[in-house]
Chain A
Amino acid sequence: MNLAACPREKEIAVLLALGAWPQAAAPELCTHAATCRACADLVLVTQTFQQARAQSAAAAPLAAPGAIWWRAQLRRRNAAVERMGRPLLGAQIFALAVNLVLAVGFLGWEARHGFAWLNWLEQLRQDSALHLDALWPSTLFTSGWSPALLIPVLAMLALVGGVVVYLGSEKQ
């Protein structure tokens, strides 16, 4: 394929870009374009595409620029808020991870020491000086419940409830 450009191609291209072909072209340039394959292709293709462009541009159904501008502002704002919220989310995940590690460490440490504080709670309940039994119904412990079990359960419920309320408010 011969890729050597015709030396007159640029002249024709300028006239085509100005929309002045063939009115403003010298007669000998028109004669050349009729005989030169590259120039003939250039004229045919450029004129066809220019006409197609004019037709398509006239038929273009344009949206309101104001609506596009506002939608873009909304997108920018959402992206900015998301960018600023990213460190907070990271901090929350870090805090959760630290808490989980501490909880697992605490449970491990307690397991190694035989949950001595449960015995202490049991002794506290049985201590007649404090009268802790007066705080809950006497029938509660007849069914196998003990404050040693009840207090951690209540603490866990309070913790889980707090997390649920926090996550719920975050989503809203």
Chain B
Amino acid sequence: MSWESVLPSVFAGDASRVIAPPMDSDAFAGFYERSARSLWAYLARVSGDPALADDLAQESYMRFLCAVRPAALLAEGEVACRRYLFRIATNLLRDHWRRPSTASIEEIPEEFFAATASSAQADSAALLTPALALMRPRERQLLWLAHAEGYSHREIAEITGLASASIRLLLFRARRKIARLLRQQNPQAGSQL
């Protein structure tokens, strides 16, 4: 047997082992349908840029599928996969902010929040958008993960890479700050409890 006839089969075997997807197409479609909207909402609200959220959401799923970990994560369940996805998205956001040409958070397109919203939701968006713009990116991330996604302090620590012990303090400060900003914009906000 010549080496030419052996090598291609060895390479083909390696390739199929390396390229084997962690999730088949149907399983991914289901996972995507269940997670894509909340991921996009997180990216859009925290970055303040819907176009950037489109790009980062797609890149997050690409990296999720290309990573080695998903095979192990699938065994842990969809909650772990979601957390891993949010972690990838958080890292992408951080990379984006570190780049010098990053867009300012003040450049939020107002029309983005006007579409298909009920009056209560529109009120919420009108209140939240300027308040979020006054928060630091890290605070926006923490607030969104805790109050919109409902993640625990330990899960937020895992997603953001911060120490679990510091999450409580950071979140407490951020919540107090945004609550004050929301009340300043709408003094009635606190009284509708």
Contacts and interface: CB of A to CB of B under 8 A. Distances in A.
Overall SS of chain A's interface:
helix
User: Which of B28, B65, B116, B147 is the most central at the interface, judged by chain A CB atoms within 10 Å of its CB?
Assistant: B147
Interface stretch (B38-46, B73-81, B89-97, B100-108): B38-46
Nearest to B150: A17
Contacts of A116: none
B173 A62 contact: no
Contact of B120 (A51, A62, A63, A71): A51
Contacts of A46: 147
Interface string B52-92: 00100110011001100000000000000000000000000
Contacts, number: 149
Given A48-B127, A57-B41, A72-B61, A66 B147 contact: no
Contacts of B124: 47-48, 51-52, 55
A51 B179 CA distance: 15
Contact of A60 (B41, B117, B169): B41
Interface residues of A, number: 46
Summarize B's interface: helix, strand, loop or mixed: helix
Interface stretch (A74-82, A90-98, A156-164): A74-82
B115 interface: yes
A22 B41 contact: no
Interface of A: 1, 3, 17, 22, 30, 33-34, 40-63, 65-66, 68-69, 71-73, 75-77, 79-81, 83-84
